[in-house]
């Protein structure tokens, strides 16, 4: 009974055996990521598996913060770390110090993942890129103060435009602090607003040395800049993510200076050409205006204005005569029609009948008497004559046919 252990004692003993094993203290394990989760504390938990088995793993924040790529389920990786026992659960697991993509470099994978993410957000769209000024008032430079990139930019700028103001914001262009310094420089130029364009870059190097220009914070700061940015990372064939976000990409710092700094000789030639074109256009315009003035001067309106007025007077007289004839003709027509209507009305006029000796009998109320049965003896009537009226009293009523 001397070999009875508590669970904790046995687990601690087994953990000690794991920790003594040199092979388990430093081991590389290849497998497929599964159930990957990054805790709010910054610690990452995952399972590494293959066709026959699996092992749980953890990567603490102190190591996980240096990951360049985003671990995802299904990704083939090689994990490096120590295998030991997690005493609380009594399970063995991997404490990872490093995760390396299997078959694709860590930086290449991180580059492609971030490029896909930012492209989906529209940070690389051509529609948001702005044109550069033909003649900037000043040029901002973000690079190392001791690097060849700065010397190249200054050399080209002095050759092309000796008087062009150059404003340097010195930064580290590689290392852990490089990305933060580049972002700070971009924000400073935008806050001061003392330049019209910014050149951000460095000389050539390996992907590791150029990595600061692939950092997400740098790419977003370039895209958010109100001042146009020219990326000038010294690599001819490959692109950094800063190149995609910048308003203009130059293959080298020297080429960036060629793009941004106007050539004084070319400017003078361009101005001379514009001057020649302007003078030619002015001469052409003056010639056209003189020709127009001559045409107006030679016009008969100015040469013989009285003839133009004579024609107008003649036309006016003709139109007045035609108008008078039309009015007279219309008046005669209306007079004839009036005479015809007057004759018709005369025939129908009851007063005309009275003029021929007839009279009209009616009551004092105005009722016209047309037959004897309408009145009674003793009734007062009014007799309307052609001239004057008679008030009479009916003495006797005699009814006859046909007026007889």
Share of the chain above pLDDT 70, in %: 92
User: pLDDT digits over 337-352, tens only?
Assistant: 898 888 788 777 666 6
Contacts of 128 (CB under 8 A, 6+ apart): 122, 223
Q: Does pLDDT of 104 surpass 70?
A: no
pLDDT at 160: 93
Residue corresponding to tokens 């009036």: 338
Q: Does pLDDT of 16 surpass 90?
A: no
Please check whether residue 12 lies inside any domain of the structure.
Answer: yes
Are residues 94 and 156 located together in one domain of the fold? Answer: no
Strand 229-233 vs strand 197-202: parallel, antiparallel, or unpaired?
Answer: parallel
Please check whether residue 228 lies inside any domain of the structure.
Answer: yes
What's the CA dihedral at 394, 398, 401, 404 to 10 degrees?
Answer: -80
Are residues 98 and 144 located together in one domain of the fold? Answer: no
CB contact at 8 A, 214 and 243: no
Are residues 235 and 156 located together in one domain of the fold? Answer: yes
Are residues 256 and 140 located together in one domain of the fold? Answer: yes
| Domain that includes residue 376, residue range | 354-393
User: What is the rounded average pLDDT for all residues in the chain?
Assistant: 86
Tokens of 109: 């994978």
Please check whether residue 287 lies inside any domain of the structure.
Answer: no
Please check whether residue 334 lies inside any domain of the structure.
Answer: no
Q: Does pLDDT of 400 surpass 80?
A: no
**From CA 359, how far away is CA 391, in angstroms rounded?**
13
Mean pLDDT for 58-77 is: 84
- What strands lie across the sheet with 229-233, from one edge to the other? 166-170, 139-143, 197-202, 229-233, 248-249
Please check whether residue 297 lies inside any domain of the structure.
Answer: no
Domain boundary among 83, 103, 123: 103
Mean pLDDT for 162-187 is: 93
* Displacement of CA 379 from its chain's centroid (Å): 102
Half-sphere exposure of 221 (CA within 13 A, CB side): 24
pLDDT band at 3 (very low <50, low <70, confident <90, very high): confident
Please check whether residue 307 lies inside any domain of the structure.
Answer: no
Are residues 140 and 252 located together in one domain of the fold? Answer: yes
Q: Does pLDDT of 224 surpass 80?
A: yes
DSSP codes joined into one string, 71-89: --TT-EEEEEEEEEEETTT
> Pick the residue with more confidence: 129 or 238?
129
1-31 b/e with 16+ CB inside 10 Å = b? eeeeeeeeeebeeebeeeeeeeebeeeebeb
Mean pLDDT for 212-230 is: 94
Please check whether residue 289 lies inside any domain of the structure.
Answer: no
Q: Does pLDDT of 135 surpass 60?
A: yes
User: pLDDT digits over 82-98, tens only?
Assistant: 898 888 888 889 999 88
CATH number at residue 83: 2.40.50.140
The CA-atom distances, in angstroms, between 296 and each of 2, 260, 284, 303, 309 are 131, 52, 19, 10, 18
3-state helix, strand, coil in the chain (%, to 5): 45, 20, 35
Q: Does pLDDT of 403 surpass 60?
A: no
Return the ∠ at Cα 379 (arms to 374 and 383), rounded to 5°. Answer: 80
CB contact at 8 A, 179 and 212: yes
Sequence-separated contacts (24+) of 16-24 with Cβ below 8 Å = 18/83, 18/84, 18/85, 18/92, 19/84, 24/82, 24/83, 24/84
pLDDT at 172: 94
Contacts of 106 (CB under 8 A, 6+ apart): 67, 68, 69, 99, 100
pLDDT at 237: 65
pLDDT band at 1 (very low <50, low <70, confident <90, very high): low
Are residues 221 and 149 located together in one domain of the fold? Answer: yes
Are residues 246 and 142 located together in one domain of the fold? Answer: yes
User: pLDDT digits over 262-318, tens only?
Assistant: 998 888 898 899 999 999 999 999 999 999 888 887 776 666 666 667 777 788 888
CB contact at 8 A, 135 and 108: no
pLDDT band at 379 (very low <50, low <70, confident <90, very high): confident
DSSP codes joined into one string, 312-328: HHHHHHHHHHHHHHHHH
Q: Does pLDDT of 404 surpass 60?
A: no
Q: Does pLDDT of 114 surpass 90?
A: no
Q: Does pLDDT of 123 surpass 80?
A: yes
The CA-atom distances, in angstroms, between 395 and each of 372, 376, 404 are 12, 9, 18
Are residues 59 and 145 located together in one domain of the fold? Answer: no
Our count of domains for the chain comes to 3
pLDDT at 161: 93
CATH number at residue 255: 3.40.50.960
Please check whether residue 372 lies inside any domain of the structure.
Answer: yes
């Amino acid at each position: 009974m001397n070999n009875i252990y508590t669970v904790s004692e046995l687990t601690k003993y087994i953990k000690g055996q794991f920790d003594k094993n040199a092979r388990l203290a430093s081991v590389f394990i290849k497998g497929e990521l599964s159930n990957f989760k990054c805790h709010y504390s910054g610690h990452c938990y995952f399972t590494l598996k293959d066709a026959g088995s699996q092992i749980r793993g953890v990567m603490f924040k102190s190591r996980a913060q240096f990951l360049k790529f985003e671990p995802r389920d299904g990704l083939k990786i090689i994990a490096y770390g120590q295998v030991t026992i997690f005493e609380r659960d009594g399970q063995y697991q991997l404490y990872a110090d490093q995760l390396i993509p299997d078959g694709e470099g860590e930086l290449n994978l991180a580059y492609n993942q971030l490029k896909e993410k930012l492209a989906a957000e529209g940070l690389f769209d051509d529609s948001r890129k702005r044109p550069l000024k033909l003649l900037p008032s000043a040029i901002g430079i973000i690079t190392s103060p001791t690097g060849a990139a700065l010397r190249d930019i200054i050399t080209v700028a002095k050759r092309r435009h000796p008087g062009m103001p150059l404003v340097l914001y010195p930064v580290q262009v590689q290392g852990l602090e490089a990305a933060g310094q580049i972002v700070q420089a971009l924000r400073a130029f935008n806050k001061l607003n003392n330049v019209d364009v910014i050149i951000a870059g460095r000389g050539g190097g390996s992907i590791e040395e150029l990595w600061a220009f692939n950092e997400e914070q740098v790419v977003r700061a370039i895209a958010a800049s109100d001042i146009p940015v020219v990326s000038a990372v010294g690599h001819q064939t490959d692109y950094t993510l800063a190149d995609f976000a910048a308003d203009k990409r130059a293959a080298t710092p020297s080429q960036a200076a060629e793009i941004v700094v106007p050539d004084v000789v070319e400017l003078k030639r361009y101005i001379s050409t514009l001057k020649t074109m302007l003078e030619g256009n002015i001469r052409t315009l003056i010639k056209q205006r003189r020709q127009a003035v001559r045409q107006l001067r030679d016009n008969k309106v100015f040469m013989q204005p009285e003839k133009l007025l004579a024609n107008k007077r003649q036309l006016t007289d003709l139109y007045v005569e035609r108008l008078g004839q039309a009015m007279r003709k219309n008046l005669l027509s209306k007079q004839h029609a009036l005479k015809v209507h007057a004759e018709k009305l005369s025939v129908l006029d009851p007063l005309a009948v009275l003029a021929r000796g007839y009279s009209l009998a009616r009551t004092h109320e105005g009722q016209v008497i047309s037959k004897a049965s309408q009145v009674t003896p003793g009734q007062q009537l009014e007799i309307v004559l052609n001239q004057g009226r008679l008030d009479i009293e009916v003495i006797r009523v005699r009814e006859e046919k046909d007026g007889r």
